[in-house]
């Protein structure tokens, strides 16, 4: 569905290399900077500050497009219904861990069932406006589904390159949306190399994490939306499942933009990057005081969405974590699956494994003391748990069985 509203004031001034600060024009298709680093979209914030108020925002429809002045739109966007996602209070975790409040932002309510819809909605709409005809992506599952859906909606051909152990339900979803879907004998970084090579040969546009400027602009709306929903306040701590880190980087960018507009103050939540213990390059770099992470060998985890051995934006993730006085932490697969099952049974919330990793990290870091009692904490559930295996026992009942025996 194309949104009918015709007034989409584009307040973009330029794109900027996240490492060197070099400027790039925003009126043409761009990928990464000459330094090989992500490009960030910059806006005319002083002009926006004169026209945008809290009251204006709150009178608009509760969708991703509510924040149009802070999005790089060049035309009315094609939308699949990117509604606000709910903040659900976890009373069990709050009480058990002696916290003021634990909120779970359930991103599984978005189109294609994951927060990947935010970034791909922007990336695909911008690609369409620049005349791109074919887009390719390396994906562990949800990003490919989102790319395929939005590409079909706007009339762009899509290709998805997936690790060979990507769940069948994800592969089927991508293909059903119309993507040409490939299983690759390797991990997500191997898929990324294929996509990069094809883009260099002019075969398609590379839509990998942070290799184009606009996925981060969609993901940053999590930060806008969160502040909006919490009545222009922020939690004390945000735990975020971190693979490529677009969402964490994007939220940090969103908070800076909101402060520049006078919509929030200087206070920031502690940003906690959550990884799996057998794929934790950001955690290792954080603990070693490094600005860049070494590629992680033999990456393995049940939370496939955070199985990212190397991230192009590693230095941006680490900077946001450190600037917020936060930290990076790794949890075991056993802890992830235990948290997932526990929250389903005690709260009625079906987390995806990556979302459950944040709950496992919260439990772990309350014990360590790095998250203090009385804190107001936000967890991100990045996708619907319905896309993942649920090893719950199923009982058999015989028609002649006595009900009293149950």
Contact by Cβ (8 Å): 324, 58: no
- Percent helix, strand and coil across the chain, each to the nearest 5: 40, 20, 40
Q: How far is CA 340 from CA 21, 66, 96, 280, 336, in A?
A: 41, 32, 16, 20, 6
Is 275 within the bounds of a domain? yes
Q: How far is CA 54 from CA 194, 261, 295, in A?
A: 44, 10, 42
The rounded distance, in Å, linking the Cα atoms of 182 and 295 is 24
CATH code at 227? 3.40.50.1100
Residues in the chain: 406
Is 223 within the bounds of a domain? yes
Question: What are the tokens at 337?
Answer: 């699956």
Q: Which residue has the tokens 């709910």?
A: 86
Contact by Cβ (8 Å): 376, 328: no
Please list the residues that pair with 276 across neighbouring strands: 279, 331
The rounded distance, in Å, linking the Cα atoms of 212 and 223 is 20
In the DSSP assignment, the letter for residue 291 is: S
Contact by Cβ (8 Å): 142, 111: no
Is 331 within the bounds of a domain? yes
Q: CB atoms < 10 A from the CB of 189, how many?
A: 18
Per-residue pLDDT, 6: 45
Is 137 within the bounds of a domain? no
Q: Which residue has the tokens 């057998």?
A: 278
Does residue 405 sit in helix, strand or coil? Answer: helix
Does residue 239 sit in helix, strand or coil? Answer: strand
Contact by Cβ (8 Å): 79, 131: no
Question: What are the tokens at 137?
Answer: 């992506």
Please write the tens of the pLDDT for every residue from 253-299.
999 999 999 999 999 999 999 999 999 999 999 999 999 999 999 99
Is 354 within the bounds of a domain? yes
Domain range for 353 is 87-113+215-387
Is 188 within the bounds of a domain? no
Note down pLDDT in tens along the chain; length 406 residues: 666 554 555 899 999 999 999 999 999 999 999 999 999 999 999 999 999 999 999 999 999 999 999 999 999 999 999 999 999 999 999 999 999 999 999 999 999 999 999 999 999 999 999 999 999 999 999 999 999 999 999 999 999 999 999 989 999 999 999 999 999 999 899 999 999 999 999 999 999 999 999 999 999 999 999 999 999 999 999 999 999 999 999 999 999 999 999 999 999 999 999 999 999 999 999 999 999 999 999 999 999 899 999 999 999 999 999 999 999 999 999 999 999 999 999 999 999 999 999 999 999 999 999 999 999 999 999 999 999 888 777 888 888 888 887 8
The rounded distance, in Å, linking the Cα atoms of 49 and 56 is 12
Q: How many domains does the chain have?
A: 1
End-to-end CA gap in the chain: 50
Per-residue pLDDT, 394: 82
By DSSP bridging, strand 180-184 and strand 270-276 are unpaired
Per-residue pLDDT, 358: 98
The rounded distance, in Å, linking the Cα atoms of 38 and 177 is 28
Q: CB atoms < 10 A from the CB of 194, how many?
A: 16
* CA 67 to chain centroid: 17
Is 53 within the bounds of a domain? no
Is 191 within the bounds of a domain? no
């Amino acid at each position: 569905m194309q949104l009918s509203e015709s007034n989409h004031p584009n307040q973009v001034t330029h794109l900027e290399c996240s490492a060197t600060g070099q400027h790039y024009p925003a009126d043409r298709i761009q990928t990464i900077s000459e330094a090989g680093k992500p490009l960030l979209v910059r806006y005319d914030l002083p002009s926006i500050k004169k026209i945008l108020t809290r009251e204006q925002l709150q009178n608009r429809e509760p969708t991703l497009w509510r924040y149009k002045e802070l999005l790089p739109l060049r035309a009315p966007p094609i939308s699949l219904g990117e509604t606000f996602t709910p903040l659900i209070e976890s009373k069990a975790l709050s009480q058990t861990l002696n916290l003021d409040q634990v909120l779970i932002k359930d991103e599984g309510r978005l189109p294609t069932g994951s927060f990947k819809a935010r970034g791909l909605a922007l990336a695909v709409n911008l690609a369409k406006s620049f005349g791109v005809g074919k887009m390719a992506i390396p994906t562990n599952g949800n990003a490919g589904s989102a790319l395929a859906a939005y590409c079909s909606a706007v009339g762009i051909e899509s290709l998805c390159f997936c690790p060979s152990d990507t769940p069948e339900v994800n592969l089927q979803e991508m293909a059903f949306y119309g993507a040409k879907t490939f299983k690759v004998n390797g991990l997500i970084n191997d898929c990324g190399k294929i996509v990069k090579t094809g883009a260099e040969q002019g075969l398609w546009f590379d839509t990998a994490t942070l290799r184009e400027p606009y996925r981060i602009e969609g993901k940053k709306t999590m930060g806008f939306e969160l502040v909006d929903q919490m009545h222009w306040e922020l939690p004390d701590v945000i735990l975020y499942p971190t693979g490529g880190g677009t969402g964490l980087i994007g939220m940090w960018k969103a908070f800076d933009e909101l402060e520049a507009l006078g919509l929030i103050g200087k206070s920031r939540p502690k940003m906690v990057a959550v990884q799996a213990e057998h794929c934790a390059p950001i955690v290792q770099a954080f603990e070693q005081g490094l600005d860049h992470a070494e590629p992680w060998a033999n990456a393995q985890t049940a939370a496939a969405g955070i199985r990212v051995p190397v991230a192009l934006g590693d230095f941006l993730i680490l900077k946001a974590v450190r600037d917020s006085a936060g930290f990076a932490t790794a949890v075991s697969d056993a802890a992830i699956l235990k948290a997932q099952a526990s929250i389903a049974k005690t709260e009625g919330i079906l987390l995806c494994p990556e979302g459950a990793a944040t709950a496992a990290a919260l439990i772990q870091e309350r014990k360590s003391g790095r998250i203090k009692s009385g804190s107001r904490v936000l967890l991100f559930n990045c996708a619907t748990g319905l896309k993942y295996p649920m090893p719950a026992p199923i009982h058999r009942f015989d028609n002649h069985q006595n009900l009293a025996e149950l």
